[in-house]
């Protein structure tokens, strides 16, 4: 039986493990803290199948500058990290070129079209199918100007197969009676879904792969070791090494550091996200609501109403700035009637973001025994099961159902 090492036990790494086990691999998972908090735990809980438009700051006029000048705005860069971020932002500027933008959007859509079906298969096998709710999501706009500004993006999404429809004020009131009556335009995303609790999904999937025979090694991976070409290894702090036939790097925002140890370059940043979860407000909404102008969301999880969003670039080591969570909660007070803020829980997590919004999925050009599965940004939960299935295809020398070239690490 071939031995597979997977670095990273978040939802992507665990999905890769589950897929590989179904193809006969003996899996060993390596993680510095299997029970610890991770981006997989604190996300908004969305299966965001409509999100096929890449991050693009062009066409926004002075808004990005205003955001950057506001330390609690939807986009912030800590001054100490700005010089390190320059190559990433220079690459981001290229996304706006029309040919690049359309190419990236098609590649995102190719993943997302499969994502819900693949995710449901994982949930069914782990006994958590009831945790998924297919109620769509609403994007709401206070102004006609903001809605018109997004018109081209909505047209692109429809052309790529996203099902959406306009919702008038009366229907919005019926669908979400606890929204403040201030929104002039709304869009229903028909195929969006959400789950009860992202952390529960991670824990359930972890126990499933354990039951299927996965081994767990606790330790911080420091490098990939290709000294023995036929048997790659993962070196850990303290001198230990874990040896296998193949390696999958699924370490989220830390993955580029490992790729670099064998000469592979990835432009990867921690796009730090913040949220507050309000246990007593879980029933305030019926589905996820995306507040377009202010770039935040509210999702009704079983564990509470989760209010999150924003993007902060500050690296992997800087301490959290929970004033950003406070700012999101302040916004939610304006738009959600009857908000109960008792017993709140604040959170910050490291979204692994590439400048072109595409994940890195596929084999290393340095050594085909090393595979990559990281860089999903806001779509880690959404694309986790599909990423796992594609990694399984590659491991088993099966034909992949989509063209894998857009996700190759060589693009950097």
Q: Number of folded domains in the chain?
A: 1
User: Can you give the pLDDT at residue 59?
Assistant: 53
Return the structure tokens found at 125: 């096998």
Range of the domain at 123: 3-411
Those residues whose C-beta lies under 8 Å from the C-beta of residue 290, and which sit 6 or more positions away, are 137, 138, 139, 140, 297
Neighbours of 69 (CB within 10 A): 10
User: Can you give the pLDDT at residue 61?
Assistant: 46
- Residues of the chain predicted below pLDDT 70: 57-73, 228-229
User: Can you give the pLDDT at residue 74?
Assistant: 72
Q: What is the pTM of this model?
A: 0.95
pLDDT tens, residue by residue, 11-40? 999 999 999 999 999 999 999 999 888 888
Return the structure tokens found at 311: 């993007």
User: Can you give the pLDDT at residue 107?
Assistant: 98
> CA 116, CA 114: separation in Å to the nearest integer?
6
User: Can you give the pLDDT at residue 279?
Assistant: 98
Distances from the Cα of 237 to the Cα of 216, 244, 373, angstroms = 16, 18, 22
Containing H/E element for 385? Answer: helix 380-395
Q: Which residues pair with 349 in a beta bridge?
A: 273
Instruction: Find the CATH number of the domain harbouring 152.
Output: 3.50.50.60
């Amino acid at each position: 039986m071939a031995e597979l090492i997977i670095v990273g036990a978040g939802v992507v790494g665990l999905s890769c493990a589950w897929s590989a086990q179904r193809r006969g691999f003996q899996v060993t998972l390596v993680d510095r803290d299997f029970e610890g908090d991770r981006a997989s735990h604190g996300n908004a809980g969305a299966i965001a199948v409509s999100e096929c438009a890449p991050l693009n700051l062009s066409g926004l006029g002075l808004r990005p500058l205003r955001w950057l000048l506001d330390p609690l705005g939807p986009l912030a860069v800590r001054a100490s990290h700005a010089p390190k971020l320059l190559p990433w932002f220079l690459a981001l500027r290229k996304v706006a070129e029309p040919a690049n933008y359309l190419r990236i959007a098609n590649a995102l859509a190719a993943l997302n079209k499969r994502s819900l079906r693949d995710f449901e298969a994982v949930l069914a096998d782990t006994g958590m199918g009831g945790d998924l709710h297919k109620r769509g999501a609403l994007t709401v706009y206070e102004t006609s100007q903001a809605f018109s500004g997004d018109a081209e993006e909505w047209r692109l999404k429809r052309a790529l197969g996203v099902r959406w429809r306009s919702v008038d004020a009366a229907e919005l009131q019926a669908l979400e009676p606890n929204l403040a009556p201030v929104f002039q335009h709304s869009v229903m995303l028909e195929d969006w879904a959400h789950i009860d609790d992202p952390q529960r999904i991670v824990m359930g999937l972890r126990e499933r792969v354990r039951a299927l025979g996965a081994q767990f090694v606790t330790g911080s991976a420091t490098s990939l070791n290709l000294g023995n070409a036929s048997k790659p290894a993962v070196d850990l702090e303290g001198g230990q090494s874990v040896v296998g036939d193949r390696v999958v790097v699924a370490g989220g925002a830390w993955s580029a550091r490992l790729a670099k140890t064998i000469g592979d370059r990835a432009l990867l940043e921690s796009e730090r996200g913040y949220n507050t979860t309000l246990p007593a407000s879980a029933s305030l909404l019926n589905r996820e609501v995306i507040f377009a102008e202010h770039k935040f969301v509210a999702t009704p999880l079983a564990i509470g109403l989760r209010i999150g969003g924003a993007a902060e670039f500050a690296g992997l080591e800087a301490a959290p700035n929970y004033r950003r969570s406070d700012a999101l909660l302040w916004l939610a007070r304006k738009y959600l009637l009857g908000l109960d803020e008792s017993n709140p829980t604040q959170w910050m997590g490291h979204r692994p973001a590439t400048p072109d919004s595409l994940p890195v999925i596929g084999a290393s050009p340095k050594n085909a025994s090393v595979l990559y599965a990281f860089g999903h940004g806001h779509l880690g939960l959404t694309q986790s099961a599909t990423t796992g299935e594609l990694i399984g295809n590659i491991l088993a020398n099966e034909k992949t159902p989509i063209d894998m070239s857009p996700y190759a690490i060589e693009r950097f």
